[in-house]
């Protein structure tokens, strides 16, 4: 077992209901990739709607420890999300894989992936089809850029 850091896009305006079943692509990645490849012992994740919430529900369903880390929005405003992402990356033990699920621009998700790369964590990116690609170069994390296959 290994720990795992998940960085994911927030829910779009149309699915802000924090629905676990509203994100089948996330469930597909978690079921197929995580359980087969990493069998996570603990998952590090934020507390946003979308991927974070879906991951928390999935972890609870599979009895995997997962304590979401809140961003202090009221105290720090727009800077809170990136600061929370720094805390997540700092909390992850050395060697913890980071799986990013950036949909659309996802600046916070991509920023967290860059932080993980800088820390030397292995970083992977999943698309909506469930395909997971290793990220070896920070240039592959640019906003809106199509990821190159490693």
Most confident of 19-23, 31-35, 114-118, 134-138: 114-118
pLDDT at 144: 45
Is the model's pLDDT at 148 over the cut of 50?
A: no
| Tokens 């896009």, residue located | 9
CA distance 120 to 82: 18
CATH topology of domain 2-141: Rossmann fold (3.40.50)
Identify the CA nearest to 11 among candidates 109, 84, 133.
109
Is the model's pLDDT at 20 over the cut of 60?
A: no
CA of residue 148 relative to chain centroid, distance: 19
| Tokens 């395909």, residue located | 131
Would you kindly state where each structural domain of the chain is located, as residue ranges?
A: 2-141
pLDDT category at 147 given cuts 50, 70, 90 is very low
pLDDT at 39: 76
pTM of the entire predicted model:
0.85
pLDDT category at 21 given cuts 50, 70, 90 is low
């Amino acid at each position: 077992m290994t720990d795992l850091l998940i960085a994911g896009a927030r829910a779009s305006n149309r699915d802000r209901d924090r629905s676990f079943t509203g994100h089948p692509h996330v469930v597909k990645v978690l079921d197929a990739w995580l359980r087969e490849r990493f069998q996570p012992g603990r998952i590090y994740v934020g507390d946003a709607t979308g991927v974070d919430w879906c991951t928390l529900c999935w972890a609870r369903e599979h009895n995997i420890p997962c304590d979401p880390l809140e961003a202090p929005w009221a105290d720090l405003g727009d800077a809170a999300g990136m600061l929370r992402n720094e805390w997540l990356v700092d909390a992850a033990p050395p060697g913890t894989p980071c799986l990013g699920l950036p949909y659309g621009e996802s600046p916070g998700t991509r920023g967290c992936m860059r932080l993980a790369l800088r820390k030397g964590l292995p970083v992977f990116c999943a698309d909506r089809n469930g395909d997971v690609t290793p990220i070896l170069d920070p240039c592959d994390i640019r906003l809106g850029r199509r990821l190159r296959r490693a």
